[in-house]
A and B are shown apart, each in its own frame.
Chain A
Amino acid sequence: MGALVLALTALGLSLVFGVMRIVNVAHGEFFMLGAIVAWYVSTLTGSFLLALLVAPVAVAGVAVLADRFVLRRIGYEPESTIVATIGLLYILQQTVLTTYGPYARPVEAPVYFRVDFPWFGYSGYKLVVAGVAAVLLLVTWMALSRTTLGLQMRATQQDREMAQAFAVPVGRVYTVVFGVGAGLAAAAGALIVPVQQAHYLMGLDALLMSFVVVILGGLGSLRGTLVAAFVVGLSDGAISVLFSPTLAKIVATLLVALVLAVRGRGLFGEELA
């Protein structure tokens, strides 16, 4: 489950990274915001399903506004974008702190059953999450490869000027990509609430893990992102059997850094810089 949810979050970052060539430091906050919105909706209406639908849309809306009023105006200049998204990170995080509060709040899982194996058990909801995440990944994949918009995105990713010359509305593509990227993170955040609770500081870890995945998988490579999410999701568990958990994190983090340092384009995908 962890790997699929991670893939979903990372995919959003990877899209933004790949198509727009910007580092969105606020990506983790979109993940967090998705969880918070899901908590509000499902607490107020009692419907977690509705929450799952509303959260990505609402968060994508926030992202579109940020794109229109900030990112577009600074021309997606890489360094300014990093600063602007750090600003956005603070604004989102602290707005949630002042409105939602510092608490970690859960949502009742829509389905609850425990799958019993002879030696340990596994939560049924986690299987559901994995299923939904897989469907969302598939839908994104289809949208990218089969629709006009997807084609325009890929064209923009490959060569912005050329795409513009072929009448691709690059501005609109950027807005859509930023919105979709945020929406994917928010969907992941919403899915995770019944398992992990919504908390205003939950974004940072999601951001770091997504970075790892995107880097390892390679810039803008959807396939790479997916493979890397699985490698990271599973190896995390595997390494922690061998080493003490904190040591495992150190080793894993160093490995990722070295992979990127030695092979600038990650495992798949094109050169980053």
Chain B
Amino acid sequence: MSETSGGVKSVSRRTVLTGAGAVALGAGLPGPWVRRATAQAGQGPLRLGFQVHRTGIGAVYGRWYERTTAAAVKLINEKGGIAGRQVEIVAEDDGTDPKRGGEVVEKLATHHKVDLIFGTLFSHVVIASAPRAGELKIPYLVVSEGYHVASGKLNRYVFQPGITDVRAQVTAVAPWILKNLGKKVTLIFPDYAFGHDHRDFFSKVATAQGGTVRALVPIPPTETSFTKYFPRVPADTEVLYHVMVGPGVLTFVKEMGEHFGAKRPQIFGFVDSLEGVDMASPGLDYLEGTYFWEAFPRYAGPATPAHVRTYRERVGINDNGANVNDPKDVSTASHMFGCWETLFVIKQAVEKSGYKKPSDYKAFIETLEGFQSFAEGLEHPQGPKKFVGRLHQVFGQQLISKVEKRRLAVVHRTAIEDSMYAPEADYTKQPL
């Protein structure tokens, strides 16, 4: 990224060259076990490491995560920063790759000496990076949506305070689907982790509530044509539940239309498939009248509250959820707000805990674990949140939207409680 607006600064050429020079010289440096510079710690800007998917399969999300982060930091800095310190973002591309992800965490922590790290989305990168954050003992706040933080398999340094997890989303929308669309459901999902979360949690919730899962149709990774999978959908299916993250989504929709035509079952999908994709794209007309889960309304309307309007203006999206400067550049509205909210959670936790430098991590973490809820407002434009400290996971409202005139219109907003499941983990028992 070349722009330096809003306090988001890419690593300058000079920093990098200095780094390279350091290894070449290898002399005049402190011993390897001195972790962070202590000279100016606690003063100067608060440096936040941003692990971002600029390249690789997550690049669409990464681009918008970066824009949202820049907008949030600009707002925070305008209002006096965090605890009186200006915020500086140090961004590093992880290529949406687990190996590079671990390296980036190391680089941010030990080379750039940031105060904490945030921003990762794809769950394999999160899972590969989390142990490094734990070993380096640096707070790592992900914006990933995956059910990994709350599952308890990460560590005490990893939090997800800005976005809800897939298990909560499924738990919240499943009853609505069974009640309003039908009880016999067929699931079409990608045959990798994200799809498996849907498969497992939806099946569990739906069966418990009197629904039946008629068939499970996993789609192998990198599939480009879906025609051959539709015959696996049983004829008595009432609801087709689809999660198809990846570039193949338009093909999927088109071929679904070709297969079912007018005699289609009810269709419910997760908007993850269509993040960054224009709803008016050719071929998406078949989605008219179908339903989607959304976390954040992509389309704004007369009912949009003022603080959400401000958020949208700040981030730079128009009423269609696209870039104000390029209407073809559609945002990832249902995910990127997570960066914004995470940054405001960081602000709150830093200010409340009195965090100044890395030796204050204990206070920072315990303060964060002590949070119970976040009120809706400009700092939390998606809606009110409940935070479960032992899970390190936030819970919020989920939206169900209907496609009307090639736009998504919110038809139902679940309660926060609808999404809450019995916690399995307790991070607060782990030593720091």
Direct contact of A and B (CB under 8 A): yes
Interface residue? A240 (CB, 8 A): yes
Interface residue? B225 (CB, 8 A): yes
- Residue of A97, A109, A195, A202 near B55 (CB, 8 A) is A97
Q: How far is the CB of A83 from chain B (nearest CB, A)?
A: 21
Q: Across the interface, do A241 and B228 meet the contact criterion of CB distance under 8 Å? A: yes
In the complex, what distance in Å separates the CA atom of A105 from the CA atom of B283?
11
Q: Across the interface, do A106 and B261 meet the contact criterion of CB distance under 8 Å? A: no
Interface residue? B32 (CB, 8 A): no
Interface residue? B302 (CB, 8 A): no
In the complex, what distance in Å separates the CA atom of A123 from the CA atom of B227?
10
Number of A-B residue pairs at CB separation under 8 A: 94
A201-B283 CB under 8 A given contacts A120-B230, A249-B220: no
Interface residue? A87 (CB, 8 A): no
- Residue of B62, B220, B231, B329 near A120 (CB, 8 A) is B231
Q: Across the interface, do A104 and B218 meet the contact criterion of CB distance under 8 Å? A: no
Q: How far is the CB of B178 from chain A (nearest CB, A)?
A: 26
A196-B259 CB under 8 A given contacts A108-B282, A204-B222: no
Interface residue? B59 (CB, 8 A): yes
Q: How far is the CB of B189 from chain A (nearest CB, A)?
A: 11
Which residues of the partner chain A approach B176 to less than 8 Å between Cβ atoms? Answer: none
In the complex, what distance in Å separates the CA atom of A249 from the CA atom of B218?
12
Interface residue? B224 (CB, 8 A): yes
A102-B63 CB under 8 A given contacts A121-B259, A196-B251, A197-B247: yes
Q: Across the interface, do A121 and B282 meet the contact criterion of CB distance under 8 Å? A: no
List B residues 214-246 near A (Cβ within 8 Å). 217-225, 227-231
- Residue of A106, A114, A248 near B250 (CB, 8 A) is A106
Q: Across the interface, do A205 and B220 meet the contact criterion of CB distance under 8 Å? A: no
In the complex, what distance in Å separates the CA atom of A94 from the CA atom of B59?
12
In the complex, what distance in Å separates the CA atom of A119 from the CA atom of B338?
44
Q: Across the interface, do A205 and B222 meet the contact criterion of CB distance under 8 Å? A: yes
Q: How far is the CB of A123 from chain B (nearest CB, A)?
A: 5
Interface residue? B258 (CB, 8 A): yes
List B residues 165-221 near A (Cβ within 8 Å). 191, 217-221
Q: Across the interface, do A122 and B258 meet the contact criterion of CB distance under 8 Å? A: yes
0/1 string, B267-293, CB within 8 A of A gives 1: 000000000110001110000000000
Q: How far is the CB of A250 from chain B (nearest CB, A)?
A: 9
0/1 string, A95-116, CB within 8 A of B gives 1: 0010001111111110000101
Q: How far is the CB of A93 from chain B (nearest CB, A)?
A: 9
Interface size, B (range) = 35 or more
Interface residue? A246 (CB, 8 A): yes
In the complex, what distance in Å separates the CA atom of A224 from the CA atom of B255?
30
- Residue of A194, A195, A240 near B229 (CB, 8 A) is A240
Closest residue of chain B to A250 (Cβ to Cβ) is B220
Q: Give the A interface residue count (CB, 8 A).
A: 36
Q: Across the interface, do B218 and A237 meet the contact criterion of CB distance under 8 Å? A: no
In the complex, what distance in Å separates the CA atom of A199 from the CA atom of B220?
18
Which residues of the partner chain B approach A240 to less than 8 Å between Cβ atoms? Answer: 228-229
Q: Across the interface, do A197 and B251 meet the contact criterion of CB distance under 8 Å? A: yes
Q: Across the interface, do A197 and B250 meet the contact criterion of CB distance under 8 Å? A: yes
Q: Across the interface, do A103 and B228 meet the contact criterion of CB distance under 8 Å? A: no
Interface residue? A2 (CB, 8 A): yes
Which residues of the partner chain B approach A195 to less than 8 Å between Cβ atoms? Answer: 251, 254
Q: Across the interface, do B247 and A199 meet the contact criterion of CB distance under 8 Å? A: yes
Q: Across the interface, do B247 and A201 meet the contact criterion of CB distance under 8 Å? A: yes
List B residues 287-335 near A (Cβ within 8 Å). 328-330
Which residues of the partner chain B approach A101 to less than 8 Å between Cβ atoms? Answer: 59-60, 63, 329
Which residues of the partner chain B approach A237 to less than 8 Å between Cβ atoms? Answer: 227-228
Q: Across the interface, do A114 and B282 meet the contact criterion of CB distance under 8 Å? A: no
Most buried by A among B219, B249, B254: B254
Closest residue of chain B to A247 (Cβ to Cβ) is B220
Interface residue? B84 (CB, 8 A): no
Q: Across the interface, do A102 and B254 meet the contact criterion of CB distance under 8 Å? A: no
In the complex, what distance in Å separates the CA atom of A244 from the CA atom of B228?
12
Which residues of the partner chain B approach A123 to less than 8 Å between Cβ atoms? Answer: 254-255, 258
Closest residue of chain A to B60 (Cβ to Cβ) is A102
Q: How far is the CB of B320 from chain A (nearest CB, A)?
A: 15
Interface residue? A46 (CB, 8 A): no
In the complex, what distance in Å separates the CA atom of A112 from the CA atom of B204?
41
In the complex, what distance in Å separates the CA atom of A101 from the CA atom of B220?
25
Starting from the known contacts A102-B63, A199-B247, A246-B220, 15 additional A-B residue pairs (CB-CB under 8 Å) come to: A2-B225, A104-B248, A104-B277, A109-B282, A120-B258, A120-B260, A121-B257, A121-B259, A194-B282, A195-B251, A197-B250, A201-B57, A205-B224, A237-B228, A245-B229
13 A–B pairs (Cβ distance < 8 Å), ordered by A: A101-B59, A101-B63, A103-B60, A103-B277, A104-B249, A104-B277, A106-B281, A109-B282, A109-B283, A120-B260, A121-B257, A246-B191, A246-B218
Q: Give residues in A with beta carbon < 8 Å to B.
A: 2, 94, 97, 101-109, 114, 116, 120-123, 194-197, 199, 201-202, 204-205, 236-237, 240-241, 244-246, 248-249
Q: Give residues in B with beta carbon < 8 Å to A.
A: 55, 57, 59-60, 62-63, 191, 217-225, 227-231, 247-251, 254-255, 257-261, 276-277, 281-283, 328-330
